[in-house]
Amino acid sequence: MKQGKYALIIHGGAGNITGLSQERHDAYVNGIRECLEAGEKLLKAGASSIDVVEACVNILENNEVFNAGKGSVINTEGEVEMDSAIMNGSDLKAGSVIGLKHYKNPISVARQVMDKTEHVMLACDGAEEFAKSAGFKYYENDYFKTEFRIKQAEEAKKAGKTVLDVSDVKKNKKMGTVGAVAFDMNGNIAAATSTGGIANKLKGRVGDSPIIGAGIYANNQYAGVSATGYGEQFLRTVVSFYAAIGVNSTTKAPAAAKKAMTYLKKVVNGLGGIIMIDKYGNIGKAATSENLIHGLVGSDYELYVSLAPNGKNELNEL
């Protein structure tokens, strides 16, 4: 085991959750914990932050309770379309895919776009063809649809609304998406965000998650950020970039995250949250919603999981 400073924060969506069953509550908590434990093991062994955020998001994508990979929300055409992006803070390299319908781990396809092409973003058919040529296994779109999501899409359709995954259709206040930000032993920061988007979205709709600066950002000079919430609001405010460049010697990640969420609320009455780690290795998180499913761990942080933005004390209050 290497010695040194490291930090990891992950999220599984934001929103205002009501009537959460114990079973689903436990599934969120266990999913986040399992992911944190795996990520911390990698960081302790000296893995790079970019490898760690990809590995963590893979775990969350493969867990169908979260709105990414299998278990993604369903659009108005009854299909799953997934968006994902990854960014490396040391060289500002980034990879992003939009509208993937047949590949299990969109974040790994985005990583390949970053590593193997000259581009940052690939969309729809082009992204699918790239995934195929990169050797990713093809899955039928039905593979991604869970019973929970089919029911959610029906309810959203009936109500004529788009819905954030983590919210209750009636209240229209739940979101999903997964994300990870890591600070490795070499002080490098990376971020990753992956999503099915919002339930009952129009075909072809793209949210903030795959857009550099909106749903994700990483720059070793400032911070790494991953966002979750109503993508349209995060797009219009470029919130991940805003949060990152808010970091300086007097404003660390906790304050920068709060400032960004205050801005989001003020200018577009935005709903959602962000997680971040600054260049000093400090972890920050904030949300304008009641819930932010997240967990964190680090050399200076005891592992905890919470469904609320302010931390572990709220866990039992749900």
13 is a site residue for ligand ASP (CB under 6 A): yes
CA distance 316 to 301: 20
User: Scanning residues 197 to 216, which ones bind ligand ASP (CB under 6 A)?
Assistant: 197-198, 207-209, 215
**Smallest gap from residue 66 Cβ to ligand ASP (A):** 10
Q: 251 catalytic, yes or no?
A: no
User: Scanning residues 134 to 173, which ones bind ligand ASP (CB under 6 A)?
Assistant: 164-165
Give the one residue of 63, 112, 195, 200 binding ligand ASP; rule: CB under 6 A. 195
189 is a site residue for ligand ASP (CB under 6 A): no
**Smallest gap from residue 152 Cβ to ligand ASP (A):** 12
**Smallest gap from residue 21 Cβ to ligand ASP (A):** 19
Q: Which stretch binds ligand ASP (CB under 6 A): 35-43, 54-62, 99-107, 191-199?
A: 191-199
Q: Choosing from 162, 177, 228, 288, which is the catalytic residue?
A: 177
Which residues carry out catalysis?
177
Binding site for ligand ASP (CB under 6 A): 13, 67, 164-165, 175-177, 195, 197-198, 207-209, 215, 228-231
